[in-house]
Structure 1
Amino acid sequence: MAMTQVSVLLTGRGLVESPRWHGDRLYFSDWSAGEVVAVDLAGRSEVVARVASLPLCSAWLPDGRLLVVSSKDGRLLRREPDGSLVLYADLGIPGWNDIVADGRGNTYVNRAHFDPMAGEDPEPGSVHLAAADGSVRQVADDIAFPNGMAVTADDATLIVADSYRHQLVAFDIGADGGLSRRRVWADLGEDTPDGICLDAENAVWYADVPHRRCVRVAEGGTVLQTVPLDRGAFACVLGGPDGRTLFVTAARWQGMTENEMVAPGTGQVLTVPVEVPGAGRP
């Protein structure tokens, strides 16, 4: 098998996360800087939003507007055409992590019920639905550490990475956005899934920080492809003009309770050509 080609699109960043392809650019968050950044395929970048939040994740609504989670104050913000940020939904409490929006405008936000950066003992987390009318309700619980999320192209299934249980967990999405029929989509052995995305063959790509790689896995857990890296992989998304570029946000991991969780300046956006294009969301 030929060596996987990994290229650096952008470097010199901090804890980089939440990559989202939209239009003709990749959007990602630099948690260290409190910035949402857009970068084109030539490596030209600009800051499109500033939110002092850690975590700092984002999602695109079907109407093309960007949502940003302000974790520390429990607010879901919407970016307006003039670049300003307005309240989209009040999440009520701090501690939110990843976010994904389906094609109907349902927005799913998850949270850990403990602060890992403060060294607190783990407590299972949850997934909440922020509806277009601003209402928020819990739709899933008992996820040891909820991380990346993805929605299938038919808006029928939500997949959640449970990092601490080393699993991908799936739910059916109901007509009202509620979740049901919880099941283990894939058991990942010792791997620790972080950010995830889906492709057109219904496989999931997941990023793994401690094992410094991205892995493509089929439902049931069969490993289809592995991309080794020289630093921790925090999240990945498929995009580019034909959907066949895997974008990876990666950095040198130092530890959850360290003052700097990643070594400063080691955050990169990487690109990997793949055969199967992306599908679903993000």
Structure 2
Amino acid sequence: MVELVLEGIVLGESVRWHQGRVWFSDWVAGELIQVEGGSARVVARVDGMPFCFDWLPDGRMVSTNGTHQRLLAIAPDGEQTTHADLAGVVAPHAWNDIAVDPRGHVFVNNIGYDFPAGPPAPGLIAVITPGGAVRRVAGDLLFPNGMAVSPDGGTLVVAESHGERLTAFDITAEGNLTDRRVWAELPGDAPDGLCFDPEGAIWYASVPGRHCRRVREGGEILQTVTFEDGAFDCALSPDGTLYAVTADFSDPNAMFSGARTGRLLAATVKPD
């Protein structure tokens, strides 16, 4: 059963489970939101859509910052500082999703063109090392979207929304990405935000599919949770609750102008 946790969101993304709470970003409203017990609190306001966030091993929060070509550090009181300058890695298109590995490497992706107006072009992944170096580590990705690091910290998986697949890389000690491979082919679907579960399977959200799906490496679909609206991202809590953000995407102009059709939903899911 799918239950409503929160409504009145414009465009929810970047769902995370952290420190016993659900977090997500509302791109259009520019809000980073923490949810606990059905109550929502705006933790920070970020200028620049899209923005996604994660945490460094030392507990600091980092966030992408849209087209502003920088990675932000966000303090507990909401103060924002530049954590890394991303200028020069790619033309000034918006930086999208983010994932941090246990060593503190910050991986950020860029779709490579001005969506939705511009002609499609290949996207990329860049890394910001713990020492502050910034470099490109992967390219030729078809709309790189959601990303997640495996529970053992050794693998990065990215959703190629226009490629209808999940693509995996091994993460080296230096933060390089090697052994590129297809983790799961998803014909007819457009994976977006994703997360690993404790068994090593992946839950991914799909906007056109209006669902979240659990998939095993190799492409076997294990479970599907359906929604009325498009699903943009999801996160799994330790007790087996899947949290997903959805929104009515039938009229993008209305959505991006501030129509609050977005919701945070919860469903109890059980692994095999």
Q: Distance in 1 between matches of 2:185 and 2:204?
A: 12
**Equivalent position to 1:38, from 34, 37, 59:** 34
1:232-264 deviation digits (Å, cap 9, x = unpaired): 00000112xx341111011111356x3634871
Q: Counterpart of 2:221?
A: 223
Mapping 1:120-131, distance limit 5 Å: 120-131=118-129
Question: Are the equivalent residues in 1 in contact too, given 2:4–2:263 (CA < 8 A)?
Answer: yes
The SS at the match of 1:64 is: coil
Q: Counterpart of 1:200?
A: 198
CA shift, 1:88, in A, is 0.7
Q: Which moved more, 1:25-34 or 1:86-95?
A: 86-95
Give the TM-score of the pair, scaled to structure 2.
0.95
Q: Counterpart of 2:96?
A: 97
**Structure 2: any 5+ residue segments left out of the alignment?**
none
Q: Counterpart of 2:67?
A: 72
Q: Distance in 2 between matches of 1:25 and 1:222?
A: 30
CA shift, 1:133, in A, is 2.1
Question: Are the equivalent residues in 1 in contact too, given 2:248–2:255 (CA < 8 A)?
Answer: no
Q: Distance in 1 between matches of 2:32 and 2:67?
A: 16
CA shift, 1:99, in A, is 0.3
**Equivalent position to 2:245, from 244, 249, 261:** 249
Q: Distance in 2 between matches of 1:260 and 1:220?
A: 35
Q: Distance in 1 between matches of 2:76 and 2:193?
A: 27
CA shift, 1:89, in A, is 0.6
Q: Distance in 2 between matches of 1:210 and 1:98?
A: 19
- Over the residues paired in the alignment, what is the CA RMSD in angstroms? 1.5
Whether 1:9 aligns to 2:5 is yes
Q: Which moved more, 1:258-267 or 1:154-163?
A: 258-267
Q: Distance in 2 between matches of 1:43 and 1:132?
A: 35
The SS at the match of 1:105 is: coil
**Equivalent position to 2:168, from 170, 174, 178:** 170
Cα gap change, 1:209/1:87 in structure 2, threshold over 3 Å: closer, same or farther? same
Q: Distance in 1 between matches of 2:218 and 2:94?
A: 31
Cα gap change, 1:263/1:49 in structure 2, threshold over 3 Å: closer, same or farther? closer
The SS at the match of 1:260 is: helix
Instruction: Give the % identical residues.
Output: 46
**Equivalent position to 1:63, from 54, 58, 61:** 58
Q: Distance in 2 between matches of 1:259 and 1:252?
A: 9
Q: Distance in 2 between matches of 1:170 and 1:72?
A: 26
The SS at the match of 2:151 is: coil
Q: Counterpart of 1:49?
A: 44
Q: Counterpart of 1:23?
A: 19
Aligned residues: 268
Whether 1:84 aligns to 2:79 is yes
Cα gap change, 1:255/1:142 in structure 2, threshold over 3 Å: closer, same or farther? farther
Cα gap change, 1:263/1:222 in structure 2, threshold over 3 Å: closer, same or farther? farther
Q: Counterpart of 2:263?
A: 268
The SS at the match of 2:67 is: helix
In structure 2, give the amino acid aligned to 1:229. F
Q: Counterpart of 1:280?
A: none
In structure 1, give the amino acid aligned to 2:50. P
In structure 2, give the amino acid aligned to 1:67. V
1:56-102 deviation digits (Å, cap 9, x = unpaired): 11111112211111112111111123321111111114410000101
The SS at the match of 1:116 is: coil
**Structure 1: any 5+ residue segments left out of the alignment?**
278-282
